[in-house]
Structure 1
Amino acid sequence: MNADIVYVHLETVSNLILSYGVSLQDFAGALPRVPNHLLLLTPVDLDDEVDPHTGFNVISGSPAVAAYLTDSHITTRKWIDFAHAPYLDEVTPNEVAQLLYLGHAYTHLASPFYYKLQNDYVYLDLPDGTVKTYYRHLNQFYVVLNRSLKRHLQEKYPDLRFLFRRRSLIQNVDPAILRQLEPLFIDGALLSFEHVDIRQRQIHIPIWYLNSHFKIMNDDWQNTDQEQVAELIYDHDQKKWRLNILKPAAFNH
């Protein structure tokens, strides 16, 4: 699968993001703070700390959580954060069952945000390479997306000084611009860095609206019912991003 894409599908009811191309590093690097505690939804490892009430592995302390999030040897991560360790003792058997289902089926039975856990996130690596993340505050996703888009661009063009003849630092995308893409995200949208066009000192990133299920096993998305409907443009001279909408109808459904 081509890694030079970012795919986003949004479910607004539960603040769920299904994504491809948004890395754990993008996610963790954009967090306002590292969680103090994680409840792991992966199979239990008895060699690590196990919470006796819920039966899940736990990671406690921001340094330990940060080490878990940055450990390159871990291939699959499934976790939910929680605020206070004593509150785990108040989790009901039904809520434990919901958490087990969340980790096993990669979807929620009830709200993924628990009063007792006071969690802000759920993070689930799916077997097909996509990632599901739940955000209590959806605006936080656009901070993550901004970081991901800039990373992809910098990886595509590691020496922007050569392109623009002088030292260049890509500025952040205004969150208000990214939120304009929300109507596309509800059905699924894809930004392709493979098809980036640079002209007149501007970087053009095409955005496709996908009308069918996204498959990441290969580049079949290019052969599905999809169309380019917009582009993100970075103007190097003005140091600003803007959204150029090519097909307004795609934003009005």
Structure 2
Amino acid sequence: MKKEAVNQQSIYVHIDHVINNVATSGISFCDFLNGVGQPPENILLIKHNIEDASYNAHTAFHYLEPGDLANISKENFNPLCWIDFEDVELLNQLTPQEVAEMLYLAHTGRHLRSPFYYNYKIILFT
């Protein structure tokens, strides 16, 4: 009897309630949104291939607002590295150092210091 190869995919979800951090791997953005009780309000896109996103000139990052999620969450976005944030105006308060740290985090998967900027109410990264 011929042995059939089984396609196995690992899913990794790490939730840290202390620092409001969620890290995922092996799960689509759509599945993640379907699995959380309340979807993020605004999403800062650090690494992405999403074409229809708003642009913040101060940070040079694209972002999605609440109305955007309904239109795009059915698609699969890879790669996707994002941060949940509360208010679009807060993006204009990020310092160049903080923007650089977010880029480093997205590029390496490691942070130089805590990537959670409480004063900007930026609370989620995956």
TM score, norm. by length of structure 1:
0.39
Whether 1:39 aligns to 2:44 is yes
1:90 corresponds to which of 90, 93, 97? 93
SS at match of 1:120: strand
SS in structure 2 at match of 1:100: helix
Residue ranges of structure 1 left out of the alignment (5+ in a row): 124-253
What's 1:68 paired with? 72
Q: Structure 1 pair 119/67, CA: closer, same or farther in 2 (3 Å)?
A: farther
Deviation at 1:101, TM superposition (A): 0.7
Distance in structure 2 (CA, Å) of the matches to 1:115 and 1:42: 22
Aligned AA for 2:72?
Y
What are the ranges of 5 or more consecutive residues in structure 2 without an aligned counterpart?
1-5
Identity of aligned residues (%): 32
Cα distance in 1 between the residues matched to 2:36 and 2:57: 29
Task: Give the Cα–Cα distance (whole angstroms) in 2 for the partners of residues 90 and 67 of structure 1.
Answer: 28
- For residue 29 of structure 2, the aligned residue among 11, 24, 29 is 24
* 8 Å contact kept, 2:41–2:86: yes
Match of 1:101 in 2: 104
Task: State the match for 1:115 in structure 2.
Answer: 118
Query: Per the alignment, in what secondary structure is the counterpart of residue 55 of structure 2?
Result: coil
Q: Kindly provide the CA deviation profile for residues 35-64 of structure 1, in whole angstroms up to 9, marking residues without a partner as x.
A: 22111112698985320111111112x220
The structural deviation recorded for 1:121 is 1.6
Q: TM-score, normalised by structure 2?
A: 0.72
Residue pair 1:91, 1:116 contacting (<8 A) in 2 also: no
The one-letter code of the counterpart of 1:68 is I
User: SS of the counterpart of 1:70?
Assistant: coil
Give the secondary-structure state (helix, strand or coil) at the position aligned to 1:41: strand
Distance 1:53 1:44 in 2: 20
C-alpha change, 1:108 and 1:30, in structure 2 (3 Å) is same
Change (3 A) 1:69 1:112: farther
Larger relative contact order (C-alpha < 8 A, sep ≥ 6)?
2
